[in-house]
């Protein structure tokens, strides 16, 4: 029989999006931005509630006239692409269908991927069968998209949500449960969730929350997922904050509303369950009895379900008396537990007697908690407050340390036992914690007490404060600077930020608030000088958060406890005679390139181009700084640390003393080092071979040769193989991996399969499996015995910088330039989890010997420690530096710089003063360029963007997006109409500087494009790359006109002579070259630098070329002869950028300006080689005085001094700050 005529239509995804956008626009214009309710939609469209539901769901057909009417109500015209016919066979959907087909019964896969976060244990869950049945019906049969579990605190929403998820998990492809108790920003939540719901296919996130929410909804269409978000009220304003309105979000959390709206409105096959004490406005607008968005108000426990609780607490009484008790407390499980404890303690368990005493009857959980906490001893109050501050499970030892050694352990145990009997704390294997509603009550009490104390201490005279009880801000920290990273961030959100908001509400902002807090500080100095106290640390954290200028403030003789000062400028602040305890400062490091755990000690080693740092893991203190590092390896006994560098040497250090035991010279940079399992052999990779040394004598004992290009990494198996051989693995720029017999020195296998250089290697614990990480974005897993590839792990979206096996498990963890860490099951190659780890490229990764910790280092100048079990970041070592990477002349007497502090700066050279800052990049500013008329600035960032700025105002006029990785090279055309860029995506681009449009992309390099320049008199673009070649392009056709090769390493910089006849190039091979642009011939090779040449520039006349090097020197060359005329010394680190600056009178020879990794700019007279001026931006702690300070060891003082601190006395202090 033929098919009948289609009589109804549904909205297509395009139509849904079009209608949704128009609806939001009208709501903004006519309804104060509030969502239309379904009743209001009925009135507006003159359609029935049932019909509106059909239209919005887009599953049940309506006639076209209905859609016309709906669209017309929002000033829209219904186009043919806005609607389609539903497919009669839902198992085979057509593009017109807004929903994908249901997957085959998930019951066939009884163990879907699950991520339970901090979900509580519900193995002893009682009752709630009717509620479970209803909710199960809504989820499975009615296919609800968004469900709200609504109820007061303590009602059991959390437990029910966990139990419900467990009951239905077999019907979903993915189950995820997360608590919002600590109010994570939406971007953080999405960064965690998107990889999970995408089945680990999601790498770098799309920019902005709107695009990320859209991506999430897309995955919710593709996969049937169950998402549970607990404690959503944490995202909402209190009645005080919102003026009595309900369901309004905290500032900065409005994106969650858009998330709920999209999940509720858009067609998909997943379900989001929300638990909350308040109903968000989006749900109120979308919900309905027969709609896919519904709310369930959780009722109290029934009498039968409460009997087990009463019996456990030993309560006496009749069934009727028990029912009265249940009714009085609305069946709230937590309230019943707490009041049952009171009945047991005060009335001997007699419910009847309790009910006769009206003074102890309360109608809600908060008054009940207030009554219970009001009866606590001082020690019990301390314990409760500390548990609330700490935010998670706390061990007995940690509690003992928090309350102080003056409290006997016996009394602490008694207090904990008492609190447990009152049902105010929870006890588990991990220690002690509180239920969310109790924790919230304690935090609210802490905030109220601290605010009250601050108001007294800022208003009363010092004399009137004598004899008063110690204020709460003296007794407790607002944040714990030394706590795990995620705990500290939570404390900032739920304690520090609300307190700061309340202070602003009381005192206003600006000068009045600042003056008030300085007055409190003066009172603190009078009462708590040289006294252990949290007061000064709390005030420092508050002042920092409020962005109050601390310049020349006086914190002398105070106890600085739990202050987090990593990003706090402390210029000329006095800490004379202060005592530091658990205070965290920034470190003077740049971005680290390598990281390693000691196999036996509590030590971590990190390395950048100039420094090797040893850290104590117990307190993350810097133990010592060494030098000349690139790759790291501890000896098996932990006594030695080997480091490789690009300066032709490997060094061996004695860990205990920091003494350099041996320098092992080679003919080329040592890219990687490794010890044999017995520590008897050290291997170092030099260019395309491995050199071997006997560690007893440090004599060379052989080489491993066979690769055709540079070796990037060498690794040695931790144990001999089945034949007793010690296996060495090498990964190379020739895209291959070789396995070697260490003692016989011959190659066993050559592993082929990667499509780019092999960056990192790691063996598993028994040496049978090798993981290879490559610039092609993949990880190879190889059987060592046979050299065969077991599998390829795909999922990263950029270079895989490392992959390490976790000891005592089958876990493999990888790091990538896509900013993420991925956790894999090494047995089958399944990606288990993805974490957004750093704000930039992740350069290296290491696992601790016990398998409990990971350490990662990133381009964001951070070293992070991760807990393997929870995949949470526990500590961050944050570096502070202002290294200069980009430099350009900007008109008479001015230059612009860009650096690793994410800023561009305009300088007046004559005075060395900073005129203006250009802020906007989210990563390093790698390059700067100024339009020839000095009216426009271009900056290139590690965030993959270029920005165009108005030089006069400092305003960003365009953000140019198109590169997919960091942008390193920039150049304007002579007329300023064009801008060229090159980046780590191996491409170069040409842009219109007026419109910001990308005009052309040039592809042909095999690796990163480090530099580019546009010819002044010809339509040519010149690019230089990591692939060791230079290309000349026709900017009109995009054709490559010529390729120049000759350098032996990557090319860092390129420049054109003023007449376009010569190309100059600077390379890692320690040379610069001069090329004839027409013939491509190399005219001169400029040798003389002892390390890689990083920068170069022609003088305006073209007569001279200046070069800057990693060896900290500059050289001036005669272009005609290639002769070195002069060497300039003075910088203490790499010279990274150069520009010539004409004299004011405009005649040659001009001045030369250089920028360096030592964070300084230098102005040179090229005729004499004299440095005329040195200037820099103020370091983070410039002029901070730490004379006579306690709590800082020598290494900490050295680190602070590197950031500008001084040990001399303070000469001045700003009035009101002392």
Report the CATH number at residue 392. Answer: 1.10.10.10
pLDDT in tens, 489-538: 999 999 999 999 999 999 988 889 999 999 999 999 988 888 899 999 99
- CATH number reported for the structural domain that contains residue 35 in this entry: 1.10.260.40
pLDDT in tens, 88-137: 444 333 332 222 233 333 333 345 678 898 888 887 777 788 899 999 99
Quick one: pLDDT band at residue 629, thresholds 50, 70, 90? low
**In contact, 462 and 526? CB cutoff 8 Å:** yes
**402 and 351 part of one domain:** no
Neighbour tally for 948: CB within 10 Å? 20
601, with CB counted inside 10 A (0-12, 13-18, 19+), is middle
At residue 1214, the pLDDT reads: 45
**1034 and 1136 part of one domain:** yes
CB neighbours of 229 closer than 8 A, spacing ≥ 6? 178, 179, 180, 272, 273, 274, 275
Q: Any idea what the Cα angle at residue 627 is, between residues 626 and 628, rounded to 5°? A: 145
What is the C-alpha separation between 427 and 618, in angstroms, rounded? 26
Please give the model's pTM, rounded to 2 decimal places.
Answer: 0.72
What is the rounded average pLDDT of the residues 1136-1157? 82
Q: Where are the alpha helices (DSSP H) in 348-377?
A: 351-356, 365-374
**950 and 1095 part of one domain:** yes
Q: How many domains does the chain have?
A: 6
> Would residue 1088 count as lying in a domain?
yes
What is the rounded average pLDDT of the residues 268-280? 92
What is the C-alpha separation between 278 and 233, in angstroms, rounded? 6
Adjacent-strand bridge partners of 1130: none
Among 297, 328, 347, the domain-final residue is 297
CB neighbours of 89 closer than 8 A, spacing ≥ 6? none
**In contact, 349 and 343? CB cutoff 8 Å:** yes
At residue 1160, the pLDDT reads: 96
Taking each helix axis from N to C terminus, what angle separates 38-45 and 49-57, rounded to the nearest 10 degrees?
100
Report long-range pairs for 351-355 (Cβ below 8 Å, ≥24 apart): 351/315, 351/316, 351/317, 351/321, 351/322, 351/325, 352/316, 352/317, 352/318, 352/321, 354/325, 355/321, 355/324, 355/325, 355/328
What is the rounded average pLDDT of the residues 1116-1131? 97
Report residue 716 as tokens: 């040695």
What is the rounded average pLDDT of the residues 986-1004? 96
**1040 and 906 part of one domain:** yes
pLDDT in tens, 394-422: 999 999 999 987 899 999 999 998 888 77
Q: Where are the alpha helices (DSSP H) in 508-561?
A: 511-528, 535-545
- The answer on pLDDT for 240 being more than 60 is no
> Would residue 459 count as lying in a domain?
no
CB neighbours of 470 closer than 8 A, spacing ≥ 6? none
What is the C-alpha separation between 155 and 230, in angstroms, rounded? 13
At residue 557, the pLDDT reads: 94
What is the C-alpha separation between 1191 and 1187, in angstroms, rounded? 12
> Would residue 545 count as lying in a domain?
no
Stated as kind and residue range, the H or E segment containing 403 is: helix 396-403
Give how far the C-alpha of residue 113 lies from the chain's centroid of Cα atoms, to the nearest Å.
Answer: 24
Strand order in the sheet with 820-825: 800-805, 811-816, 820-825, 830-836
Mean pLDDT check: name the lowest of 18-32, 955-969, 1085-1099. 18-32
Q: Which structural domain range is residue 37 located in?
A: 10-84
- The answer on pLDDT for 301 being more than 70 is yes
Supply the mean pLDDT for the chain: 87
Neighbour tally for 211: CB within 10 Å? 12
Report residue 665 as tokens: 């010279």
CA 1166, 1169, 1172, 1177 torsion-angle sign: positive
Neighbour tally for 913: CB within 10 Å? 10
Report residue 1094 as tokens: 């990083």
pLDDT in tens, 53-100: 788 878 788 888 788 888 888 888 888 778 887 654 443 333 322 222
pLDDT in tens, 329-381: 778 888 888 788 778 877 888 888 888 765 555 556 777 788 778 878 899 99
**351 and 416 part of one domain:** no
User: In 868-931, which ranges are E strands?
Assistant: 872-878, 884-889, 894-899, 903-908, 913-919, 925-930
CB neighbours of 563 closer than 8 A, spacing ≥ 6? 481, 536, 537, 540, 541, 583, 584
- The answer on pLDDT for 553 being more than 80 is yes
Give how far the C-alpha of residue 386 lies from the chain's centroid of Cα atoms, to the nearest Å.
Answer: 27
What is the C-alpha separation between 1150 and 1099, in angstroms, rounded? 7
What is the C-alpha separation between 642 and 534, in angstroms, rounded? 42
At residue 246, the pLDDT reads: 55
Quick one: pLDDT band at residue 247, thresholds 50, 70, 90? low
At residue 622, the pLDDT reads: 61
> Would residue 523 count as lying in a domain?
no
- The answer on pLDDT for 627 being more than 60 is no
> Would residue 723 count as lying in a domain?
yes
At residue 729, the pLDDT reads: 98
Neighbour tally for 494: CB within 10 Å? 23
Q: Where are the alpha helices (DSSP H) in 800-885?
A: none
Report residue 269 as tokens: 């096959």
Q: Which residue has the higher pLDDT, 881 or 386?
A: 386
Mean pLDDT check: name the lowest of 68-77, 618-627, 1174-1183. 618-627
CB neighbours of 570 closer than 8 A, spacing ≥ 6? 550, 1180, 1181, 1184
Among 861, 878, 895, the domain-final residue is 878
415: left (phi over 0), alpha (psi -120 to 50) or beta: alpha
Mean pLDDT check: name the lowest of 142-151, 660-669, 1186-1195. 660-669
**1046 and 986 part of one domain:** yes
Q: Any idea what the Cα angle at residue 711 is, between residues 708 and 716, rounded to 5°? A: 125
At residue 8, the pLDDT reads: 79
What is the rounded average pLDDT of the residues 937-966? 94
> Would residue 667 count as lying in a domain?
yes
User: In 1029-1169, which ranges are E strands?
Assistant: 1029-1034, 1040-1045, 1051-1056, 1062-1067, 1071-1076, 1082-1087, 1093-1098, 1104-1109, 1114-1118, 1123-1128, 1135-1141, 1151-1156, 1160-1165
Give how far the C-alpha of residue 854 lies from the chain's centroid of Cα atoms, to the nearest Å.
Answer: 15
Tell me how long the chain is. 1218
**In contact, 805 and 765? CB cutoff 8 Å:** yes
pLDDT in tens, 808-840: 999 999 999 989 999 999 999 999 889 989 988
- C-alpha distances in angstroms, 574 versus 515, 533, 1181, 1189? 18, 18, 11, 10
CB neighbours of 939 closer than 8 A, spacing ≥ 6? 886, 898, 904, 918, 921, 925, 927, 928, 946, 947, 949, 970
At residue 94, the pLDDT reads: 31
**171 and 220 part of one domain:** yes
Q: Which residue has the higher pLDDT, 880 or 553?
A: 553
What is the rounded average pLDDT of the residues 1139-1153? 76
**872 and 896 part of one domain:** no
- CATH number reported for the structural domain that contains residue 669 in this entry: 2.130.10.10
**1061 and 1151 part of one domain:** yes
Number of DSSP helices (H) and strands (E) in the chain, helices first:
26, 70
> Would residue 1218 count as lying in a domain?
no
Among 878, 905, 920, the domain-final residue is 878
**1013 and 1150 part of one domain:** yes
What is the C-alpha separation between 320 and 335, in angstroms, rounded? 18
Roughly how many angstroms between the first and final C-alpha of the chain, as a whole number?
94
**908 and 941 part of one domain:** yes
Quick one: pLDDT band at residue 1, thresholds 50, 70, 90? very low
**In contact, 655 and 638? CB cutoff 8 Å:** yes
Adjacent-strand bridge partners of 174: 225
Report residue 1071 as tokens: 């040379």
**122 and 271 part of one domain:** yes
> Would residue 1139 count as lying in a domain?
yes
At residue 109, the pLDDT reads: 37
């Amino acid at each position: 029989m033929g098919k009948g005529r289609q009589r109804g239509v549904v909205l297509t995804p395009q139509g849904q999006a079009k209608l949704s956008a128009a609806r939001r626009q009208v709501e903004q214009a006519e309804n104060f931005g509030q969502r239309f309710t379904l009743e209001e939609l009925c009135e507006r469209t003159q359609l029935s509630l049932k019909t509106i539901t059909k239209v919005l769901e887009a599953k049940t057909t309506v006639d076209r006239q209905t859609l016309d009417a709906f669209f017309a109500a929002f000033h829209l015209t219904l186009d043919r692409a806005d609607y389609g016919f539903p497919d009669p066979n839902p198992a085979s959907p057509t593009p017109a269908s807004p929903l994908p087909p249901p997957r085959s019964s998930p019951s066939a896969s009884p163990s879907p991927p699950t991520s339970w976060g901090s979900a509580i244990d519900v193995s002893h869950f009682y009752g709630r069968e009717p509620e479970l049945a209803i909710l199960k019906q809504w989820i499975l049969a009615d296919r609800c998209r968004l469900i709200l579990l609504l109820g007061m605190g303590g009602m059991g929403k959390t437990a029910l949500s966990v139990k419900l998820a467990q009951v239905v998990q077999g019907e979903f492809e993915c189950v995820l449960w997360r608590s919002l108790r600590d109010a994570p920003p939406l971007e953080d939540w999405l960064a965690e969730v998107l990889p999970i719901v995408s089945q680990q296919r999601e790498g770098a996130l799309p920019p902005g929350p709107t695009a990320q929410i859209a991506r999430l909804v897309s995955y919710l269409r593709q996969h049937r997922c169950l998402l549970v978000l607990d404690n959503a009220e944490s995202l909402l304003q209190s009645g005080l904050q919102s003026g009595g309105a309900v369901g309004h979000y905290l500032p900065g959390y409005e994106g969650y509303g858009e998330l709920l709206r999209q999940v509720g409105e858009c067609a998909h096959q997943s379900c989001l369950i929300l638990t909350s004490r308040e109903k968000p406005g989006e749900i109120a607008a979308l919900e309905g009895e027969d709609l896919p968005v519904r709310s369930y108000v959780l009722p109290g426990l029934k009498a039968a379900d409460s009997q087990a609780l009463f019996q456990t607490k030993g309560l006496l009484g009749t069934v009727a008396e028990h029912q009265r008790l249940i009714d009085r407390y609305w069946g709230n499980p937590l309230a019943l537990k707490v009041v049952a404890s009171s009945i047991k303690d005060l009335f001997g368990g007699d419910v009847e007697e309790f009910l006769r005493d009206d003074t102890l009857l309360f109608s809600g959980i908060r008054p009940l908690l207030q009554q219970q906490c009001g009866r606590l001893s001082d020690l019990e109050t301390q314990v409760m407050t500390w548990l609330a501050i700490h935010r998670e499970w706390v061990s007995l030892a940690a509690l003992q340390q928090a309350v102080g050694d003056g409290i006997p352990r016996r009394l602490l145990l008694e207090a904990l036992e008492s609190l447990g009997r009152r049902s105010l704390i929870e006890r588990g294997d991990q220690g002690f914690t509180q239920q969310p509603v109790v924790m919230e009550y304690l935090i609210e009490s802490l905030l109220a007490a601290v605010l009250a104390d601050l108001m007294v201490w800022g208003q009363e005279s010092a004399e009137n404060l004598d004899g008063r009880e110690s204020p709460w801000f003296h007794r407790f920290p607002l944040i714990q600077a030394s706590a795990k990273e995620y705990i500290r961030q939570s404390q900032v959100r739920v304690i520090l930020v609300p307190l700061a908001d309340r202070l602003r509400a009381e005192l206003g902002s600006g000068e009045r608030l600042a003056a008030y807090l300085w007055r409190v500080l003066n009172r603190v100095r009078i009462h708590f000088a040289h006294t252990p106290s949290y007061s000064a640390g709390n005030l420092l954290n508050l002042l920092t958060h409020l962005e109050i200028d601390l310049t020349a403030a006086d914190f002398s003789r105070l106890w600085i406890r739990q202050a987090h000062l990593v990003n706090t400028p402390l210029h000329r602040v006095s800490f004379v005679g202060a005592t530091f305890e658990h205070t965290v400062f920034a470190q003077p490091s740049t971005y680290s390139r390598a990281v390693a755990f000691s196999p036996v000690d509590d030590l971590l080693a990190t390395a950048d181009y100039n420094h090797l740092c040893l850290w104590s893991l117990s307190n993350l203190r810097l133990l010592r700084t060494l030098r000349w590092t690139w790759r790291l390896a501890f000896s098996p006994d932990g006594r030695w640390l080997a480091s490789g560098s690009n300066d032709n040497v490997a060094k061996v250090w004695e860990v205990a003393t920091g003494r350099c035991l041996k320098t092992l010279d080679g003919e080329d940079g040592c890219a990687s080092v490794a010890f044999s399992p017995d520590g008897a052999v050290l291997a170092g990779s030099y260019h395309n071979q491995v050199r071997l040394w006997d560690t007893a004598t440090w004599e060379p004992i052989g080489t491993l040769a066979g690769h055709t290009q540079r070796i990037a990494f060498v690794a040695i198996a931790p144990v001999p193989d089945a034949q007793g051989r010690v296996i060495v693995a090498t990964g190379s720029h020739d895209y291959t991996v070789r396995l070697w017999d260490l003692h016989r020195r011959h190659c066993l296998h050559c592993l082929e399969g990667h499509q780019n250089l092999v960056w990192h290697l790691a063996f598993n614990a028994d040496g049978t499996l090798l993981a290879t990480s490559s610039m092609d974005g993949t990880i190879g897993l190889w059987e060592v015995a046979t050299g065969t590839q077991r599998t390829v792990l795909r999922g990263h979206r950029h270079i895989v910088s490392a992959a390490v096996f976790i000891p005592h498990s089958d876990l493999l963890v990888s790091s990538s330039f896509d900013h993420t860490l991925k956790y894999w099951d090494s047995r089958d190659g399944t990606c288990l989890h993805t974490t957004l780890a750093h704000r930039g490229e992740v350069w290296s990764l290491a696992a601790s010997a016990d398998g409990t910790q990971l350490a990662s280092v990133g381009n964001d100048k951070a070293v992070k420690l991760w807990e393997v079990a929870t995949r949470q970041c526990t500590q961050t070592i944050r570096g502070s530096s202002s290294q200069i990477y980009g430099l350009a002349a900007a008109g008479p007497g001015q230059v612009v710089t860009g650096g690793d502090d994410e800023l561009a700066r305009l300088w007046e050279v004559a005075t060395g003063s900073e005129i203006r800052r250009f802020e906007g990049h989210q990563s390093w500013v790698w390059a700067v360029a100024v339009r020839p008329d000095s009216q426009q600035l271009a900056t290139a960032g590690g965030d993959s963007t270029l920005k165009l700025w108005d030089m006069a105002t400092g305003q960003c006029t365009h953000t140019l997006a198109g590169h997919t990785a960091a942008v390193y090279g920039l150049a304007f055309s002579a007329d300023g109409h064009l801008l060229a860029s090159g980046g780590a995506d191996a491409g170069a681009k040409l842009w219109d500087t007026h419109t910001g449009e990308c005009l052309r992309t040039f592809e042909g390099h095999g690796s990163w494009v480090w530099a580019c320049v546009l010819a002044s008199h010809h339509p040519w673009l010149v690019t230089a790359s990591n692939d060791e070649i230079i290309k000349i392009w026709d900017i009109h056709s995009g054709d490559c006109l010529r390729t120049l090769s000759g350098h032996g390493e990557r090319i860092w910089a390129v420049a054109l002579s003023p007449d376009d006849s010569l190309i100059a190039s600077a390379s890692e091979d320690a040379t610069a070259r001069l090329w004839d642009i027409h013939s491509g011939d190399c005219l001169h090779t400029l040798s003389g630098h002892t390390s890689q040449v990083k920068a170069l520039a022609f003088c305006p006349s073209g007569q001279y070329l200046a070069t800057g090097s990693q060896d900290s020197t500059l050289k001036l060359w005669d272009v005609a002869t290639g002769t070195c005329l002069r060497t300039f010394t003075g910088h203490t680190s790499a010279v990274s950028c150069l520009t010539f600056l004409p004299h004011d009178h405009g005649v040659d020879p001009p001045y030369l300006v250089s920028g360096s990794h030592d964070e300084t700019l230098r102005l040179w007279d090229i005729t004499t080689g004299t440095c005329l001026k040195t200037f820099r931006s103020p370091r983070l702690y410039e002029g901070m005085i730490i004379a006579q300070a306690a709590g800082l060891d020598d290494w900490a003082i050295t680190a602070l001094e590197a950031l500008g601190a001084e040990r001399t006395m303070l000469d001045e202090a700003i009035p009101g700050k002392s």
